[in-house]
Amino acid sequence: MRFSKLFRAEDSKAELDEEIATHLAMAAADKREQGSDPATAQQEAQREFGNTALVKDITRESWGWLWLERVLQDLRYALRQMRKSPGFAAAVIGTLALGIAAATAMFTVVDRVLLQPLPYPHPSQLVKIHEGDQGSRMLLDAPYLDIAAWRSQAKSFEQIGFYTYPNGRNFLGRPGQSVETSFLEVSANFFSTLGVKPQLGPGLSAAPESFAGSPNADTVVISDSAWRTLFAADRGVIGKSVQINGKSYTVVGVMPPGFIFPYDAFHTVQAWAPISLNANDRARDRNSMATYSVIARLRPGVKLTTAQAELSTLQTQVARGYTDPEMRADARHVRTTPYTEGLMEKSTSHALYALLAAALLLWLIACVNATNLLLARALARQREMAMRGALGASRWRLTQQLIVESCALSGIAALLGAAIALTMIRLFHHALKSHLPLPVPASVNLPVFACLAVLTLFSAILAAVWPAWIAAHAPIEPALKQGGQQSGTSRAHHRMRGSLVIAEIAMSLTLLAACGLMLRTIYALRNVPLGFRTDHIIVVNLDIPTYRFSKINATTDLYQPLLDRVSHMPGIDSAGLMTDVPLGRTFIMHIEINRKDTNGDNATVAAFFKAVSPDLQRVFGFQMLKGRYFNAQDTATSEPVVVVNRTFARAYAPRERDLGKVIGLQVMKLVNGKQSKQATIIGILDDFRQRSVDQPSHPEIEVCLPQLTPDSGFYTVLEGIAMDLAVRTHRPLAQVIPELRSALRQASPELANSNITTMDQIVEDSYGSQMLAAHLLEIFAASALLLCVAGLYGLLAYIVNQRTREMGIRFALGAQRNDVVWLVMRRAGVLVIAGVAIGLALAFASTRFIRSFLYGVSAHDAWTLAAVAAVLIVSGAVAAYLPARRAAQVNPVEALRAE
């Protein structure tokens, strides 16, 4: 190819023209010399030369770069056409943009959340190791002695590292700046197990853990974002000190940007410090043993099954080291799981894929619609194409021009679609963040861009090739004849367009069915009786700076004064404290209570464990089944008491029919020690929703806050980590919140920045992924319905337009208006019924993929399907109305005269 000539294209062409003109002139001159007159000479010379234009064309083509010029020419023509009929262009662009936007947005989310590789090298080799009884499905952390045994004897692993979360909320900072963050204590080989080195500094000491005190105990590695926030990206940060929970640590490393561990969005760990082994790690004592989460890297080439088998064999020996028979039973089984597996529940990933499928379905509908539009257009331009063919354009040339046109349209649609997708992601960012366990992007990255390009290309091809092929292969003569507009359309063409509309209707029905099911789910969720009141309750999620309050008695020094202050604020009906409000999900404490089975076997009941203040019942209105709730008489010096819910009572005393007998049973010790008494059950609450609205009740035990003292073993976990303050008030939010904040600040400065929300909002948030899926499906289904109706309307309008003459003849022959309307409606009816039938089958087959989202309605619910079918039929009737009316208003005289 002669690109150099491309830039002087005009010159080259002019040269060629001149060369040929010269040839002709000389030939004519020769002929004149031979005796012909000038006119004949000219003619003969021309005749001998041949088709000048064709010769020029062929020669130019041998230059090799002509195709580019032609494409540019086609592009310019396409843009001119778009300007001439902006409505059509807008329709096609809008349709395609909608489909591309939906598919791109969903794919962005799926790519980031499901497909993105972890930021560690060879992440498939990373496994988690848990101990635990196969049957109980509990995954337990392992004590140090077990880990040491594995390290020395298990051959399948290259490295075994471990880590743990210190209890409580952690605050990382420097003097003057303090931020709440997550903080991890890790083994010395932790980072080398993951395979990531710090970007600055040497990192944690590689000396293995030992029971002797290590001089490196107060070192820490911080994350890239902590480095930027606290040290302003100062490269001399190594050796500087930073405070964690008031204690000073030396910074020995900064992790690279983008490094996250653990890989989830709930904990943003900003600092990693070494684990110090102490007396608790020397023995396997049930009460004091420290356990760690284990992450290990397999040796290259070792399969997970091999490693699992080796560890299982090894573990039977290791378990003998346990003296407690119960613990030995638990420790006997060991489970390895790939690290990538546990990151998201299967149901969530299935749901995401289902939503992606829905988005792709919408894209398909959009493409089908665009194809229909382009087909109609190609038909209208038959005469133009025929003319060009007659002038010498080859079939390929015509096809190429139409393809370029549609590529231009879909290119613009892709740009528009990308913009819409970005906006959608931004709008849904908050919702996505709270319901997906992994960080969600706000931008378009390379794989997504590639996906966008592929979608655009396919849209263009799908929507263009077909009409282009038809237009290019249409016979020329009939189109050029008079009246060709009316008779040129073949039955095959109509059938094709009809089947496209049927396909659209079928796919739309599927989307509408999914949407309908989701809406019913939401409705069912909203109407589940929660078991407590949610109106007019303000909730404050207190961030307790644990380290500050370990020295004091938080009950008397912090919480009680706070409660008193808040209760006495004007307009407050009642106020209470609870470790975690129902559906709050800020902090859930589990406890296992032993009970004696009637057989004498030991069994346990796993229960939620919360501390509450007595007034809480006035705030939430919990229903008591039996007995009483806490009251002012329950103090630190009175009898220890607990309140349980019905599920707990059933689990704890399964043989007891009468719940009243459960009252008075002794359950557990609030305070360790020989003198202390067991706490008795004094009341049974009716079940209420705890974790989420669609899950049944879990056993729950509540203890009275005033009864907890620092001596109690549960003091720290129930009071020192999280506490929610619930306030019932009739005053408007805007007035109460500032007063609340000042009361909090008076109690302790850190509390002033706590998150304040309402109970209604918490309930709303807890609907979680169902709401998100419902919103998305609403958008998809509404778009699909719109496209469908537009497609049907377009087809019918076109048919009526084509057949105006026929209508006129019918009227002239005596047909009534109604007959003609019926004709149109019948055509529409056939299309809609066929589409609905196929759509129902499709919906039946595919709604089971969203089964995990549904609540209160089955995936094959007949009412929903019937309702959706009815919606489509009505929409079809609406779409057919205008064309039918237009058909009925055809004036026979005019129709016969036209064309």
Partner 1 sequence: MTPRETYRNKIEILQGTLDLLVLEILRWGPQHGYAISQAIRTRSGEVLQVETGSLYPALHRMEHQKWIASEWRTTDQNQRAKFYKLTAEGRKQLVRGRSKWESMVEAIGGVLNPDPQTEG
Asked if 135 interacts with partner 1 (CB under 8 A), we say no
Q: Using CB under 8 A, count the residues that bind partner 1.
A: 23
- CB closer to partner 1, 45 vs 374: 45
- CB closer to partner 1, 53 vs 841: 53
- CB closer to partner 1, 2 vs 533: 2
Select from 61-69, 282-290, 533-541, 642-650 the region that touches partner 1 (CB under 8 A): 61-69
Q: 669 to 698, contacts with partner 1 by CB under 8 A? A: none
Of 13, 32, 42, 49, which one interacts with partner 1 (CB under 8 A)?
A: 49
Of 35, 37, 62, 152, which one interacts with partner 1 (CB under 8 A)?
A: 62
Asked whether 872 and 540 are in contact (CB, 8 A), the reply is: no
What does each C-alpha distance from 446 to 453, 618, 813 come to in angstroms? 11, 55, 65
How far apart are CB 70 and partner 1 at their closest, in Å? 16
Asked whether 682 and 617 are in contact (CB, 8 A), the reply is: no
- CB closer to partner 1, 57 vs 341: 57
Asked if 68 interacts with partner 1 (CB under 8 A), we say no
Asked if 59 interacts with partner 1 (CB under 8 A), we say yes
CA 488 to chain centre: 49
CA distance 494 to 831: 12
Of 2, 320, 473, 661, which one interacts with partner 1 (CB under 8 A)?
A: 2
Asked if 51 interacts with partner 1 (CB under 8 A), we say yes
Asked if 58 interacts with partner 1 (CB under 8 A), we say yes
- CB closer to partner 1, 19 vs 711: 19
Please report the DSSP string for 870-897 in residue order.
HHHHHHHHHHHHHHHHHHHT--HHHHHH
CA distance 738 to 547: 27
Of 54, 279, 329, 870, which one interacts with partner 1 (CB under 8 A)?
A: 54
CA distance 179 to 545: 11
Q: 13 to 42, contacts with partner 1 by CB under 8 A? A: 15-16, 18-20, 22-23, 25-27, 29-30
DSSP-derived secondary structure letter, 696: P
Helix (H) or strand (E) run with residue 846 in it = helix 817-846
- CB closer to partner 1, 12 vs 456: 12
How far apart are CB 833 and partner 1 at their closest, in Å? 54
Of 6, 55, 387, 589, which one interacts with partner 1 (CB under 8 A)?
A: 55
Instruction: Show the DSSP H helices in 555-667 as ranges.
Output: 560-567, 616-620, 646-652
CA distance 611 to 642: 10
How far apart are CB 26 and partner 1 at their closest, in Å? 4
Can you read off the two tokens belonging to residue 186? 């890790």
User: Looking at this protein, which amino acid is placed at residue 897?
Assistant: R
Select from 10-18, 97-105, 369-377, 879-887 the region that touches partner 1 (CB under 8 A): 10-18
- Residue 262 preceded by cis peptide, ω within 30: yes
Pairing of β 247-254 and β 219-222: parallel
How far apart are CB 23 and partner 1 at their closest, in Å? 4
Closest CA to 719 of 734, 733, 709: 709
What contacts 852, CB < 8 A, 6 or more positions away?
A: 347, 350, 351
- CB closer to partner 1, 47 vs 491: 47
Asked if 128 interacts with partner 1 (CB under 8 A), we say no
3-state secondary structure of 566: helix
How far apart are CB 32 and partner 1 at their closest, in Å? 12
The β-bridge partners of 543 are 722
Asked if 528 interacts with partner 1 (CB under 8 A), we say no
CA distance 648 to 606: 9
What does each C-alpha distance from 435 to 327, 432, 616, 766, 776 come to in angstroms? 36, 5, 29, 9, 14
CA distance 263 to 116: 11
How far apart are CB 29 and partner 1 at their closest, in Å? 7
Of 34, 39, 47, 50, which one interacts with partner 1 (CB under 8 A)?
A: 50
How far apart are CB 66 and partner 1 at their closest, in Å? 12
Binding site for partner 1 (CB under 8 A): 2, 15-16, 18-20, 22-23, 25-27, 29-30, 49-51, 54-55, 58-59, 61-63
